[in-house]
Amino acid sequence: MNIALIGYGKMGQIVHKVAQEKNFNIKSLIDSKNPEADFQEINAESLKDVDVCIDFTHPEVAVENIKQIANEGKNIVMATTGWLDRIEEVKQIVTEKQIGFLHASNFSLGVNIFFKLVKQAAQVMNEFEDYDIYSYEMHHNRKKDAPSGTALSIGEILLDKIERKNKLVLDRPEEKIKNSELHLSTIRGGDIPGTHVVGFDSSADTIELKHTARNRAGFALGSLVAAEWLHGKQGFFKAEDWMQF
């Protein structure tokens, strides 16, 4: 399997390093700004003999990248977040071009296990109304989307499994939040790879679930394993299709 890596910034370079360590074949490095990349543009030449592309770029160029890759008939692992407001447009592109497309808010194996644990905990806490729910996330000061895609996925799980919650509050509350609202808070600073917390709080005690990334290697390896899974497939897939839970 030949992989094209779209985006050769900090994250792309980590993916490349992990790929070399784990014997994944990176056929093409594509980045418009990094002179160490093989190519500056996504086109037939830069995607020649490529089976799957992995995109670690920026939200503002993600959909345009998808269009260009799809025009060349290549499968895509979209590891960039912050573009979901155009998801219907992307689904149409995937269908028309008959490619395989996999997106996830986070490709870390540990984070996807965390999603499952949050889902199970939320199902339990749905039966205990004395517990209120909150969530927060922390990332490095260079991250462009806020809250993180991972945090939004956690919020969707909580809203889906806890009947007394029906709305996420993402901004600073201007007044007391309603009992039906769930506050999801964002912190940006330093070089934090990523921390996500879900809390269940009552007058008697607090229960917290927490995932802390030590480095970005887990995200990198997950995207490569995802590319291996997507190889040869057609259709629009999400993390639960890849992880199968």
Quote the longest CA-to-CA distance of the chain. 63
Options 143, 161, 183, 231, the catalytic residue:
143
196 close to 150: Cβ distance less than 8 angstroms: yes
Please state, in angstroms and rounded to a whole number, the distance separating the CA atoms of residues 242 and 245. 8
Range 175-181 contact pairs with CB under 8 angstroms and sequence separation of 24 or more: 179/132
Query: In sequence order, what are the beta bridge partners of 53?
Result: 4, 76
Catalytic residue among 27, 74, 103, 139: 139
Is 139 an annotated catalytic residue? yes
> Could you give the count of Cα atoms lying within 13 Å of 76 in the half-sphere of its Cβ?
33
Q: Is position 91 annotated as part of the catalytic site?
A: no
Extract the tokens encoding 25: 């074949």
Q: Which residues of 145-156 are buried (b: 16+ CB within 10 A; e: fewer)?
A: bebbbbbbbbbe
Nearest to 134 by CA among 57, 59, 200, 230: 200
Residues acting as catalytic residues: 139, 143
